């Protein structure tokens, strides 16, 4: 009590008390039988009325309605993906749900087979004529095919869109037309459109938003358009100002608006020295250029040309090949050094040649192949790397910073089919090749050592010096 007096008078106050009830620990005993908690289901007080039974006529009306066909086409594609996937399959490739997707990193050997694409009905007994990766969706690859002589009742022209993202073995989209498709590209700035150039000369336009597998637009077979095979189609320009460029084997070049393919906006006859028509087999535009371009021809010559201005048409001829040009590609890897003047060509003469628009003779000739070389393409990311394919199933990678006599990496496709087309993915981590049996093979490219761009400058200097030495020696022999 004395201690309480020393503390002074006591003050009473209110205090909030929270009551917590801790339930006793539950003892669970496990037996051999599975213990499953039971749940009590409460029936709704009011039972739902039974659904209305449709008549046969109503069923048929729904089954043939545009809304149902669209729903079924879209849903069946998703279900087909979902059958073998554990990832998000609700992805729309028509452009309505465009999202930025970064390609997944690939590692491993220099060239390792990732997967193959083929379809028993649509690609078997057809030749792969062209390949193109989607600029919007990096996992989508378009492949065009020639006619199937063993199936006269099937369409002559076929284009399939394959999907690298999912394990399903069927095409994402199937398109066809009345003439063999010789070239096909995704329409830049239009993720839903695929453009095809045909053997008849018609250019066709497919739309994956449509329920039709046939073209939604096509050019006329008339004198104002193409009447010869179209091996070259490309969409060039910017988001707000772009055109479809096409060239047929008679040397006619047309510029089109994708909104209206009834008549070309512009046309140009590609002739050398106003007398010789150029039978164009391949075309390429330098990086960032929509006016100047390079074409390869059936006679083995290469030509530079421009679309507009007082000098529209062929400007220079480059000689060096001894057979038709089968593939051509301008240098497109962007970096601190401008190599846009470089291009590579492949030919029936078993060689690949390196050129510069600054010199009308080849800088170098790569002569490791023992058959027709059908296509060639620069890496989109590495300044000194290109890929080529030949008639005996070889896919070769050449890294000019390492070696110019033999390929840096090489692989042979099983069965040694002729490989007609090669196409790098935009990431530079995969390369696709198409063969003469209708199959598309995707290879992972191992990490290429990214030597400096200045190293490639030194490589080109050495190549030029060697070429000049060879030319000087040849001149001395002629003089003697």
Residue 72 has φ and ψ, to the nearest 5°, of -65, -40
For 69-81, what is the mean pLDDT? Answer: 82
Residue 34 pLDDT exceeds 60: no
User: Which has the higher per-residue pLDDT, 230 or 73?
Assistant: 230
* Within a domain: 437: yes
The CA distance from 25 to 340, in Å, is 76
Q: Which of 34-43, 235-244, 376-385 has the lowest mean pLDDT?
A: 34-43
pLDDT at 202: 95
Segment 421-442 shows an average pLDDT of: 96
Residue 61 lies in a domain: no
- Residue 156 within any structural domain of the chain: yes
Contact 439, 127 (CB under 8 A): no
Report the first-to-last Cα separation within the chain, whole angstroms. Answer: 134
The structural domain count of the chain equals: 1
Statement: residue 195 has pLDDT above 70: yes
Highest mean pLDDT among 11-20, 273-282, 349-358: 349-358
Q: What is the pLDDT of residue 375?
A: 97
pLDDT band of 26, cuts 50, 70, 90 = low
| Confidence bin at 4 (pLDDT 50/70/90) | very low
The pLDDT-based confidence of 99 (bands split at 50, 70, 90) is: very low
pLDDT higher than 60, residue 27: no
The first and second tokens of residue 359, run together, are 């010199």
Mean pLDDT of the chain: 85
- Confidence band, pLDDT 50/70/90 cuts, at residue 109: very low
Mean pLDDT value across residues 324-340 = 93
Contacts (Cβ under 8 Å, ≥6 apart) of 295: 232, 247, 270, 278, 280, 282, 283, 302, 303, 305, 328
Q: What is the reported pLDDT for 30? A: 45
Q: Tell me the mean pLDDT in the region 277-284.
A: 94
Q: Does some domain include residue 419?
A: yes
Beta strand pairing status for 313-318 and 140-145? unpaired
pLDDT value, residue 340: 93
User: Residue 21 pLDDT more than 90?
Assistant: no
**Is the pLDDT assigned to residue 274 strictly greater than 90?**
no
pLDDT reported for residue 51: 80
- What is the per-residue pLDDT for 137? 95
Q: Which residue has the higher pLDDT, 151 or 327?
A: 327
Dihedrals φ, ψ of 254, to 5°? -125, 145
**Is 479 inside a domain boundary?**
no
The residue with greater pLDDT, 241 or 327, is 327
Residue span of the structural domain in which 240 resides: 112-453
The alpha-carbon radius of gyration of the chain (Å, integer) is: 32
Q: Is residue 130 part of a domain?
A: yes
pLDDT beyond 90 at 28: no
pLDDT reported for residue 339: 93
**Per the structure block, which two tokens stand in for 322?**
């001894």
User: Which 3-state string (H, E, C) describes the chain?
Assistant: CHHHHHHCCCCCCCCCCCCCCCCCCCCCCCCCCCCCCCCCCCCCCCCCCCCCCCCHHHHHHHHCCHHHHHHHHHHHHHHHHHCCCCCCCCCCCCCCCCCCCCCCCCCCCCEEEEEEECCCCCCCCCCEEEEEECCCCCCEEEEEECCCCCCCCCCCEEEEEEECCCCCCCCCEEEEECCCEEEEEECCCCCCEEEEEECCCCEEEEECCCCCCCCCEECCCCCCCCCCCEEEEEEEECCCCEEEEEEECCCEEEEEECCECCCCCEEEECEECCCEECCEEEEECCCCCCCEEEEEECCCCEEEEECCCCCCEEEEEECCCCCCEEEEEECCCCCCCCCCCEEEEEECCCCEEEEECCEEEEEEEECCCCCCEEEEEECCCCCCEEEEEECCCEEEEEECCCCCCCCCEEEECCCCCCEEEEEECCCCCEEEEEECCCCEEEEEECCCCCCCHHHHHHHHHHHHHHHHHHHHHHHHHHHC
- pLDDT the model gives residue 254: 94
Do the domain assignments include residue 18? no
The tokens describing 413, both together, are: 């496709």
- Quote the pLDDT of residue 469: 72
Percent pLDDT > 70 in the chain is 81
Alpha-carbon distance of 90 to 56, in angstroms, equals 32
Please determine, for residue 6, whether its predicted confidence score (pLDDT) is greater than 80. Answer: no
Q: Is the pLDDT of residue 103 over 50?
A: no
pLDDT at site 11: 59
Higher pLDDT residue, 161 or 35?
A: 161
Residue 119 CA to residue 108 CA, distance in Å, equals 28
CATH code of 439's domain = 2.130.10.10
CA atoms within 13 A on the CB side of 371: 16
**Which residue's structure tokens are 């990096």?**
138
Do 428 and 379 touch, CB atoms closer than 8 A? Answer: yes
pLDDT above 50 for 320: yes
Out of 249-258, 302-311, 322-331, pick the least confident. Answer: 302-311
Cβ atoms of 158 and 151 within 8 Å: the answer is no
pLDDT band at 466 (very low <50, low <70, confident <90, very high): confident
| Residue 475, phi then psi, degrees to nearest 5 | -65, -40
pLDDT > 90: what percent of the chain?
Answer: 58
- Are the beta carbons of 464 and 363 closer than 8 angstroms? yes
Q: What is the mean pLDDT of residues 209-215?
A: 91
Q: Does residue 37 form part of some domain?
A: no
pLDDT value at residue 35 = 47
């Amino acid at each position: 009590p004395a201690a309480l007096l020393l503390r002074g008078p006591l003050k009473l106050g209110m205090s909030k008390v929270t009551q917590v009830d801790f339930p006793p620990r539950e003892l669970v005993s496990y037996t051999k039988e599975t213990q499953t908690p039971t749940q009590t289901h409460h029936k709704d007080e009011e039972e739902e009325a039974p659904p209305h039974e449709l008549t046969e006529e109503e069923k048929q009306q729904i089954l043939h309605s545009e809304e149902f066909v669209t729903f079924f086409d879209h849903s069946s594609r998703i279900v087909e993906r979902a059958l073998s996937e554990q990832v998000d399959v609700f992805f729309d490739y028509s452009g309505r749900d465009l999202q930025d997707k970064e390609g997944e990193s690939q590692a491993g050997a220099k060239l390792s087979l990732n997967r193959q694409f083929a379809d028993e009905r649509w690609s078997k007994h057809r030749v792969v004529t062209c390949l193109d990766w989607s600029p919007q969706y990096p996992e989508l690859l378009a492949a065009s095919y020639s006619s199937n002589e063993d199936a006269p009742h099937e369409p002559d022209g076929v284009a399939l869109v394959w999907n690298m993202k999912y394990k399903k073995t069927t095409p994402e989209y199937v398109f066809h037309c009345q003439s063999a498709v010789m070239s096909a590209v995704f329409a830049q700035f239009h993720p839903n459109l695929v453009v095809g150039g045909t053997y008849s000369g018609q250019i066709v336009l497919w739309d994956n938003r449509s329920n039709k597998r046939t073209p939604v637009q096509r050019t006329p077979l008339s004198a104002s358009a193409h009447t010869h095979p179209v091996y070259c189609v490309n969409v060039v320009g910017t988001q707000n100002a772009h055109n479809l460029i096409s060239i047929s084997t008679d040397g006619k070049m047309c510029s089109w608006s994708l909104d209206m393919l009834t008549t070309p906006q512009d046309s140009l006859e590609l002739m050398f020295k106003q007398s010789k028509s150029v039978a164009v087999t391949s075309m390429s535009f330098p990086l960032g250029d929509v006016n100047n371009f390079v074409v390869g021809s059936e006679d083995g010559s290469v030509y530079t040309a421009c679309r507009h201005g007082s000098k529209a048409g062929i400007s220079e001829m480059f000689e060096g090949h001894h057979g038709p040009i089968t593939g051509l590609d301008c240098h497109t890897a962007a970096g601190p050094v401008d190599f846009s003047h470089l291009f590579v060509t492949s030919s029936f003469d078993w060689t690949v040649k390196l050129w510069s628009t600054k010199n009308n003779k080849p800088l170098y000739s790569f002569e490791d192949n023992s058959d027709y070389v059908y296509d060639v393409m620069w890496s989109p990311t590495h300044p000194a790397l290109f890929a080529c394919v030949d008639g005996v199933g070889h896919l070769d990678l050449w890294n000019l910073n390492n070696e110019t006599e033999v390929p840096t990496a090489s692989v042979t496709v099983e069965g040694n089919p002729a490989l007609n087309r090669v196409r790098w993915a935009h990431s530079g981590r995969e390369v696709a090749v198409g063969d003469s049996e209708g199959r598309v093979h995707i290879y992972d490219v191992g990490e290429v050592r990214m030597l400096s761009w200045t190293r490639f400058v030194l490589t080109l200097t050495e190549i030029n010096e060697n070429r000049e030495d060879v030319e000087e020696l040849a001149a001395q022999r002629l003089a003697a």
